[in-house]
Amino acid sequence: MHKQMIGLIGAVLLLAACGQNTGADAGASLVGKTYLSTSVTEDGKPKQLAPKTQVRLQFTDDGRLVADAGCNSMQTKVSTEGGRLTLDDQITSTAMGCLGQLQGQDEWLGGILGAKPTWELDGSKLDLTAGSTTISLTDRKIVEPDLAVDGTKWQLSTVITGEAASHQAGSEKAWLTLNGERVTGSTGCNDFQGMVARSTGRLTFGELATTRRACAGDAAKLESQLLKGLQGEVTYQVDGSTLQLRSSGGGLDFTAAR
């Protein structure tokens, strides 16, 4: 009887341990997911975001957090260990001019993410808490379908070289559109066009023809990086309003133009 009781207690403890689902234990499940805010509370009261905006948090496969609150996007390496989001010190951000409430909202989100907020995942629901503020989010795939890769104007947001991801000056002026076997776009300095072949999850770019405006400084650097990323075969993935292109040397991230 004594041995049976010990065995029963052990089984109960094992089941209890298996039933726990803390944020830290579920950390790996954030990778590759994008979450959109459904509500925000401060001091227990609802907080209204700017009209037609929401918080978007994307946890990329390469360990970055890309976040925005309706205007500029920020990104950096992130750790989810210990039930907290801990950002790397090197944060890059787009530089679109945001006025009034949108500018304040960018700063508000940056402050929350910089405060090492706690997080808790329950299925498709994610809660992020810093001090008296809680942002409730849900898996993007539940509320926002993937955009079509064809016909969407994709605006450059990030250049990835090796393990480094950066937002280059002027990238908001660079874009591309795919339509069947054709690609057209702009480097921010010159226009380009060319042919592209497709297979499952892959694009193969032919030689791109460009206009011949003289580009200098940041514009020349950005053009070189963009055209290099559109050479030969790359893998692609659409995640909601984001298009990711990847090759062995790095990649390019685009967002749907607003």
Quick: pLDDT tens for 86-95. 998 878 777 6
Spatial distance between the Cα atoms of 226 and 84, rounded to a whole number of angstroms:
35
Task: Please report which confidence band the pLDDT of residue 250 belongs to, taking 50, 70 and 90 as the band edges.
Answer: confident
Tokens for 8? 């029963």
Mean pLDDT of 89-107: 78
pLDDT at 55: 94
Show the domains of the chain with their CATH numbers: 27-143 (2.40.128.270), 154-256 (2.40.128.270)
Neighbour tally for 35: CB within 10 Å: 28
92 touches 74 (CB < 8 A): yes
Averaged pLDDT, 142-149: 87
Read out DSSP for 151-217?
S--EEEEEEEETTEEEPPTTGGG-EEEEETTEEEEE-SSSEEEEEEEEETTEEEE-PPEE------H
Name which residue leads in pLDDT, 249 or 250: 250
C-beta of residue 158 within 8 angstroms of C-beta of residue 172: no
Tens digit of each residue's pLDDT (9 = 90 or more) over 150-193: 999 999 988 888 766 777 778 889 999 999 999 999 999 999 99
The pTM score is 0.62
